Structures are given as C-alpha cells and as structure tokens.
C-alpha cells in the first residue's frame, strides 16, 4: 500500500469496524506469528486478519488455522486497486475459501489462501457474512 492511500485504508477499516465491532470483542487469538515467512494471522471478534510482511515472497495455498468451521470470504485487502494495490487477489473476492476439518496452528480447522507479499487480508466467516454489505 502506498502512503497516499493510507487515509482510504483507514476509512475502510473504520467502516467495517462499525459493522463488526471487532476492536471491542473479547475474542482474540493469534493463530500464527512466523518470523521466517514474515506472516501474522489472528482472529479478532468475528474476523480473521492475515498479514504477509515479506518484501518478496507471495504464498500460494498457505495453510492457515482457524476455529471457524464455516467457509470464509475476503472482506477487504490492501492489494485492492482503491489502495493502489497490484490487484493480485481480485479473483478471490466474492468467492468462499473452503474451511477444512484439518487442525493447523493450534486451531481445530484450516483453510488455504493465496497471500501476496506485503499484503493484509481480512476475512469473514459465512455465519457472520449476513452483516456483509458493501462498505
């Protein structure tokens, strides 16, 4: 994300916070903090946050642990065109990530996701997607 779009990113984060209220949620869990891959994944409230801080490595089919059992959808991500991103995840929007009954990262389930380098992705489980409306 480029510096000029930080205001737009902040506005989108605040808008979704108004829908999901994850900042005041008591549910918080760090699923992954990996220095080698430069990845951080955590659950906060009803959302899953995936960060790839690696300057070069993008990860295809990166297996991520979760306690949510329903499929997941990308809510927003930093590689979108509106944030001057490279649009590497455009085909992932409005598609569900299948959650597998396969433990990973001390969580009971997992899902695989394409995670581009220098990208933040926020996902929502199906059971909470009823709150979803374009922000």
Chain position carrying tokens 């989108």? 12
Domain-by-domain residue ranges, the chain?
3-130
| pLDDT tens digits, 87-127 | 888 766 777 899 999 999 989 999 999 999 999 999 999 88
The full length of the chain comes to 135
Average pLDDT over the chain reads 88
At the second CATH level, the architecture of 3-130 is Sandwich (2.60)
The yes-or-no verdict on residue 36 having pLDDT over 80 is yes
Written as six digits, the tokens of 127 are 């059971």
CA–CA distance, 98 with 57 (Å, rounded to integer) = 23
- The arithmetic mean of pLDDT across residues 48-72, rounded, is 95
């Amino acid at each position: 994300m480029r510096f000029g779009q930080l205001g737009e990113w902040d506005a989108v984060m605040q808008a979704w916070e108004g829908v999901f209220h994850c900042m005041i949620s008591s549910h918080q869990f760090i699923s992954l903090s990996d220095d080698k891959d430069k990845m951080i994944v955590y659950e906060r409230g009803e959302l899953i946050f995936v960060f790839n801080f690696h300057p070069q490595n993008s990860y295809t089919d990166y297996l991520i642990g979760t306690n949510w059992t329903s499929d997941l959808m990308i809510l927003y991500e930093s590689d979108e065109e509106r944030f001057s991103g490279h649009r590497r995840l455009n085909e992932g929007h409005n598609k569900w990530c299948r959650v597998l009954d396969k433990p990973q990262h001390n969580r009971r389930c997992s899902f695989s996701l394409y995670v581009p380098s220098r990208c933040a992705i926020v996902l929502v489980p199906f059971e909470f997607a009823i709150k979803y409306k374009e922000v």
